[in-house]
Amino acid sequence: MAKSQSKTGGDERDWQLLMPLAELESRAVTMKRVAGRQIAVFKTAAGPRACDNRCPHEGYPLSEGSLSPECILTCNWHNWKFNLETGENLYGGDRLRTYALEIRADEIWIDITEAPYESRYLSITGSLRDAFDDYSYDRVAREIARLGRLGADPLDALRLAIDWSWQKMEFGWTHAYAGMADWLQLYDEHPDDAEIQLVCLVESVAHIAFDVLREPEYEYSDEVTAFDADRLVADIEAENENAAVAAIRGGIRDGLKFADFEQALTRAALQHYNDFGHSLIYVSKAGALIERLGNGVMEPLLLALLREMVCASREDKIPEFRGYRGQLKKWGRHKNQNPVPGLWRRQGINKSLEATIDCSGCPPQQIYHALLLANANNLLAFDISQQDKIHVSVSGNVGWLDFTHGLTFAAAVRQQCLRFPELWPQGLLQMACFNGRNAAFTTPDLALDQWRPDDVGSKMEKILKQVLDHGQGEHIVAVHLLKTALAVRREIHGLEQSDAELLVVALTRFFESPLKRRQARRTAFQSLQFVAKE
């Protein structure tokens, strides 16, 4: 293929011979290959025009498309339309690359010069933003793939998603940010598998996009004050968001790192049975995200985390969990009951709290181990028929995802309380709250043999492969599969074989059992009951 280099305004251009002019005269469109590219060439009233032959939507050949007299090119597979002069997508999706042409004597030459890196980066990330705002899953995947092909850091997609979303989360953190931390873990475990890495990035970005779809930006205070750990905990307790935000901004201004905030945030997360443990889980994930993505994401992540903590429900203030506060005051005063999982088996909330206090003279990690297995037993014994019940109260709306929190919260308790041992009493008693709440929805029998794997390690590998191609339409389900699997994998390290097997058996049952998400008739029943009492 003949080539020529020309300079325009100091920029070197890459012109290559495309085809003889006469070849286009005999047909309306043709496809040519130039430097590894497929180029569609069209004869128009304004002269020859060229573009990538592959439609940027799904790759179908645009040379088989339809061109209007106004130079609008339609891909006939999905009716996407492009301005052939500019490449603009008339439907607002992926742009089409068009090429400058020159007629030299009896030949058509094409300029295949690549735009500068910065220009291409901005074009890709701008298009990614459009896909993000539209919640277009497949387009998000294509744009992140283009980012990687450009040679940019693919993790920029995550940094940008945080920047685009943190002020649109009305009540602060959601599972989307927490899931990002876990997807990143799998991303790092597969450095040589571009396909798996793309899955991890797309799942992260798409979940965030879904959670903020059509949400406005919510304001945060611009105030800045000096950071004080005790003051921050008190401000969160008082639900004084502006003061808490100002303290975090001030700490970052003064050069503090996440480690400088972590103890206060963990204390605040465990100050109550916050949002059924979500606050503590989110603290642990915030640290992982900041460490991996850099301090540039610290301020948006921590401000959104503060809002979640301020807005979180304090479950220990409702009647079912009101015994928690009184039992916390008794920590360490009772006999050293040997902590074994059976102490908590099918025990309600108050009995579970009492059993934990009875063991409080024992080493915290010993109590933790027993409570971890107790919550695994609950997952293994969840009464699946609960999903099909219609005439139940709102408090009976308990399902698989509630049970998985017993394990994911446990993993967060161990991580954070090993760092801040003074918080073990709160963490362990809140694990007991999980056990007691879920115990009412379990059966007497544990179906161990039905779900027992031949090998724990190989079963965990299979489960993680399933996570990476989960097939779930709801991000909230996919992220629960992800975070529960990773929590179990973390917690089985160092356990005896039988205990590790119990956790994996419980996880297997969750993965392989039906999960009912929409309760149409139950919702109708509860709504009628509610309205009748108005």
Question: Which among 238, 256, 157 is positioned nearest to 247, based on CA atoms?
Answer: 256
Domain boundaries, the chain: 3-111, 117-211, 229-313, 316-520
CA distance 20 to 108: 6
Distances (CA, A) of 325 to 206, 331, 359, 431: 39, 10, 17, 14
4 pLDDT tier (thresholds 50, 70, 90): low
- Please give the order of strands across the beta sheet that includes 66-67: 66-67, 72-74, 81-83
Neighbours of 527 (CB within 10 A): 10
**Tens digits of residue pLDDT in 446-466:** 877 888 888 999 999 999 999
**Tens digits of residue pLDDT in 85-105:** 999 999 888 899 999 999 999
pLDDT at residue 249 in the model: 98
- Share the mean pLDDT of the chain: 95
In terms of pLDDT, which residue wins out, 278 or 6? 278
Return all residues near 119 (Cβ < 8 A) that are at least 6 apart.
Answer: none
Portion of the chain with pLDDT greater than 70, in percent: 98
Cβ atoms of 124 and 146 closer than 8 Å: yes
Mean pLDDT (whole number) for 31-35: 95
25 pLDDT tier (thresholds 50, 70, 90): confident
DSSP label of 71: -
pLDDT at 246 over 70: yes
pLDDT at 385 over 90: yes
Mean pLDDT (whole number) for 401-406: 96
Tokens of 362: 């024992």
pLDDT at residue 9 in the model: 45
193-204 burial by CB neighbour count: b if 16+ within 10 A, else e? eeebbbbbbbbb
Q: Which CATH architecture has domain 3-111?
A: 3-layer Sandwich (2.102)
26 pLDDT tier (thresholds 50, 70, 90): confident
HSE-CB at 190 with a 13 A cutoff on CA atoms is 18
**Tens digits of residue pLDDT in 184-202:** 999 999 999 999 999 999 9
Mean pLDDT lowest among 295-309, 324-338, 378-392: 324-338
Which amino acid would we find at residue 420?
F
5 pLDDT tier (thresholds 50, 70, 90): low
225 pLDDT tier (thresholds 50, 70, 90): very high
**Tens digits of residue pLDDT in 461-495:** 999 999 999 999 999 999 999 999 999 999 999 89
**Tens digits of residue pLDDT in 117-170:** 999 999 999 999 999 999 999 999 999 999 999 999 999 999 999 999 999 999
CA distance 474 to 478: 7
Cα dihedral 495/414/379/273 (nearest 10)? 160
7 pLDDT tier (thresholds 50, 70, 90): low
Mean pLDDT (whole number) for 502-529: 96
Helix (H) or strand (E) holding 169: none
Distances (CA, A) of 30 to 22, 44, 64: 12, 12, 9
**Tens digits of residue pLDDT in 329-378:** 999 887 789 999 999 999 999 999 999 999 999 999 999 999 999 999 99
Mean pLDDT (whole number) for 269-284: 96
pLDDT at residue 11 in the model: 64
